[in-house]
Amino acid sequence: MYKTEAGKITVAAENLDVKATLECGQLFRFEKNDDFYTVKSGGNVCKVYATGEYVTIETAAVDFFVNFFNLDRDVNRTKRELSRFPELRLALESCGALRILRQPLFETIISFIISANNNIPRIKSILNRLCAQFGDVFPSPEQLAETSVRQLDAIGCGYRSQYILTTSKMCAETDILNRLYAARTPDAAKLLMGLTGVGQKVADCVLLFSLGRLDVFPVDTWILKTQRQGSETEMQLRTRLMDRYGGNAGYAQQVLYYYNAILKEKP
């Protein structure tokens, strides 16, 4: 599915749709250039570009980005399994080999706390300013716990500043991050929602985009707008679609979001 060598990963284009993967709302630390993307995670960076039948990922952190792009997972098998649902077929055909990323846990928690009631350009700007304070590296829980509300306000976090500070301190002072890796999905969701600023949707995003729990189904405005039946609540919709798509629910959510919020919204 992929080949690694010094400073480079080569992936067949049929196994990685770069645009769909990076622009489907699961990642904020990336920039789109004329013919390539720059992706940052933790203190690592890569350049990603497609050339015909292949995608090339240039980076000094090859092992990190093999894991980050989840390259050992067969997404085409997942798509085949989901294609039995007629309501997903057009979205599945439209999004190519969209991959669910494996992002660093603490970075994902803070990123999605910042994402609440926010838009993607502003989220990206806040995260860029935050990382700039630490040498263009995402800070550790201990580093972020030592900042102040005033510093976080200054980079645009607003009411989320206190959430970020309190959650960083909890992650720095307890073993919650290790417990999250080991916990079953329902227990991990409860642990996450015990953090300040983390509700069901943020918890689901962290479970999906960091911990690889594909049995969750985050519900955002677009999902509610396009998938709601009658007067369903967000939780009723979430439960119904998790039951319907089972262990591939998170992948179904991403292709539905990308198709409805990104592809169909283009002029």
Spell out the residues 6+ positions from residue 34 whose beta carbon is closer than 8 angstroms to its own: none
CA dist list (Å): 86 to 23, 93, 216, 259, 264: 24, 12, 20, 15, 18
201 labelled catalytic: yes
Please tell me the distance from the alpha carbon of residue 218 to that of residue 259, in angstroms, as a whole number. 15
The per-residue DSSP string of 60-96 comes to S-HHHHHHHTTTTS-HHHHHHHHTTSGGGHHHHHHS-
- For residue 4, the cross-strand partners are 9
What DSSP element (H or E) covers 169? Answer: helix 160-173
Q: Is 26 left (phi over 0), alpha (psi -120 to 50) or beta?
A: alpha
Among 87, 150, 88, 116, which Cα is nearest to 218's? Answer: 116
Q: Which of 201, 225, 264, 266 is catalytic?
A: 201
Active site residues: 201
